[in-house]
């Protein structure tokens, strides 16, 4: 009998599901893995399974890309018969991508309990598709695991019973610690050693879907690149938009890479003088690595990276980006410290909590 059906769909899910699957196996909890296929390129998906030792998915929905509505609906349609066949005691979802919400919604409507890993993060920006996914997934989850304490206040504000929330720490940081000594040296990924460099990642619709915003960002990046070489692993949607908007010339001089694997990215970040990003996860990974991070967004759902970590919000404003860059060049940027429970044991805490919570286990929840 499968107790927990675990779901992963897109690149940022894979590093979160890896330690959860391992910890469930270690705790003797019977789990299966389902891949929705939201990300399907080898570089966006398969390489993570190989690098992180994630078991081959028991189920693959192969949904692929589409508008948010199409993608979410396709996952829902294809997930329902699998859920019906597997009959798990609970569905476990991670993060905030479309696959997270789609599978949580199907499970909740079929009366299957939902576990959300990385619950309660809020940017309070409903313009972000992920924010909608977070709010709705949390509302229909039965058990909510948080990465930082601020998440509990967000959940309570939305009427969620604190008894259903557990602060376990950050499973993505479990993965980071587990694989740090296997990180690929930057010189290997870049083909040559660079004495100092910045890494840039850019894929959020708010930054890359409008020619003016994307063009202005690439201009500042070009300025930075003249002082500190910028390495840019290009997300497929960003590459497509740069071409569509006729901005390819603005990439001149940057160290362009295709999407890189987990171990390559870890090595690139660890050795970087600075990371510039609009990713959620990278804000946390740079905090764990102690590398200064300038986040190209107006807000963050991960405030602990600002208050305790190495992260600074700079938005898409060229003046703010320049000023923060100068600060890193002169003072080295924020030093930061490692947040509570980001200790490599978050997934183990989750497995322990599930052991007590799942039906038929000792200490079973009666609600």
- In the structure encoding, which two tokens stand for residue 40, read together? 């399907």
Residues 307-336 that bind ligand UD1 (CB under 6 A): none
- The helix (run of H) or strand (run of E) holding residue 346 is helix 346-357
Task: Using the minimum distance from each CB to ligand UD1, give the nearer residue, 130 or 285.
Answer: 130
- In angstroms, what is the C-alpha Rg of the chain? 20
Helices marked H in 167-204 — which ranges? 171-179, 186-190
- The helix (run of H) or strand (run of E) holding residue 274 is strand 274-277
Q: Can 116 be counted among the known catalytic residues?
A: no
Q: Provide the mask over 26-45, with x wherever binding to ligand UD1 is found by CB under 6 A and - wherever it is not.
A: ------------xxxx--x-
Which class for 291: exposed (0-12), middle (13-18), buried (19 or more C-beta within 10 A)?
buried
Rounded least distance, CB 296 to ligand UD1, Å: 13
Q: Which of 203, 210, 235, 355 is catalytic?
A: 203
Please report whether residue 199 would count as binding ligand UD1 according to CB under 6 A: no
Q: Provide the mask over 89-108, with x wherever binding to ligand UD1 is found by CB under 6 A and - wherever it is not.
A: --------xx----------
Picking from 124, 316, 97, 302, the residue whose alpha carbon sits closest to that of residue 206 is: 316
Please report whether residue 209 would count as binding ligand UD1 according to CB under 6 A: no
Rounded least distance, CB 244 to ligand UD1, Å: 11
Selected from 130, 264, 271, 285, the binder of ligand UD1 by CB under 6 A is 130
Task: Using the minimum distance from each CB to ligand UD1, give the nearer residue, 10 or 274.
Answer: 10
SS3 (DSSP) at 160 = coil
Looking at the DSSP assignment, which residues form a beta bridge with residue 91? 5, 114
Please report whether residue 146 would count as binding ligand UD1 according to CB under 6 A: no
Picking from 62, 104, 97, 69, the residue whose alpha carbon sits closest to that of residue 83 is: 104
Picking from 247, 203, 251, the residue whose alpha carbon sits closest to that of residue 225 is: 251
Selected from 35, 203, 334, 345, the binder of ligand UD1 by CB under 6 A is 203
Please report whether residue 129 would count as binding ligand UD1 according to CB under 6 A: yes
Picking from 110, 67, 79, the residue whose alpha carbon sits closest to that of residue 9 is: 79
Rounded least distance, CB 366 to ligand UD1, Å: 35
Selected from 237, 352, 355, 365, the binder of ligand UD1 by CB under 6 A is 237
CA-CA distance, 20 to 30, in Å (whole number)?
A: 12
List of residues contacting ligand UD1 (CB under 6 A): 10-12, 38-41, 44, 65, 71, 97-98, 129-130, 203, 235-237, 240
Residues noted as catalytic: 203
């Amino acid at each position: 009998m499968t107790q927990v059906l675990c779901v992963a769909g897109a690149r940022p899910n894979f590093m979160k599901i890896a330690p959860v699957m391992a910890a469930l196996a270690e705790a003797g909890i019977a789990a299966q893995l389902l891949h929705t296929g939201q990300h399907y390129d080898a570089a966006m998906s398969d390489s993570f399974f190989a690098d992180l030792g994630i078991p081959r998915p028991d189920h693959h929905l192969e949904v692929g890309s589409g508008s948010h509505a199409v993608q979410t609906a396709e996952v829902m349609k294809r997930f329902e018969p699998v859920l019906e066949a597997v009959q798990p005691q609970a569905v476990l979802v991670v993060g905030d991508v479309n696959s997270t919400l789609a599978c949580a919604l199907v499970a909740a409507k079929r009366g299957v309990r939902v576990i959300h890993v990385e619950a309660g993060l809020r940017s309070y920006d409903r313009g972000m598709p992920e924010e909608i996914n977070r709010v709705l997934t949390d509302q229909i989850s039965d058990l909510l695991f948080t990465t930082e304490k601020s998440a509990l206040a967000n959940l309570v504000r939305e009427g969620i019973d604190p008894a259903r929330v557990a602060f376990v720490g950050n499973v993505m940081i479990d993965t980071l610690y587990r694989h740090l000594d296997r990180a690929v040296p930057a010189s290997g990924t870049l083909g040559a050693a660079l004495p100092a460099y910045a890494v840039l990642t850019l894929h959020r619709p708010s930054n890359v879907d409008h020619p003016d915003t994307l063009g202005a960002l690439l201009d500042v990046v070009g300025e930075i690149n003249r002082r500190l070489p910028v390495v840019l692993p290009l997300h497929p949607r960003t590459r497509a938009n740069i071409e569509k908007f006729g901005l390819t010339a603005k990439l001149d001089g940057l160290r362009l890479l295709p999407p890189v694997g987990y171990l390559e990215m870890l090595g690139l970040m660890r050795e970087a003088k600075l990371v510039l990003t609009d990713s959620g996860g990278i804000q946390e990974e740079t905090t764990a690595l102690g590398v200064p991070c300038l986040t190209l967004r107006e807000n963050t759902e991960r405030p602990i990276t600002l208050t305790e970590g190495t992260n600074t919000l700079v938005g898409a404003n060229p003046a703010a980006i320049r000023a923060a860059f100068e600060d890193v060049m002169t003072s080295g940027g924020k030093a930061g410290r490692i947040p509570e429970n980001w200790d490599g044991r978050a997934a183990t805490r989750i497995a322990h909590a599930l052991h007590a919570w799942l039906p038929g286990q000792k200490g079973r929840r009666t609600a």
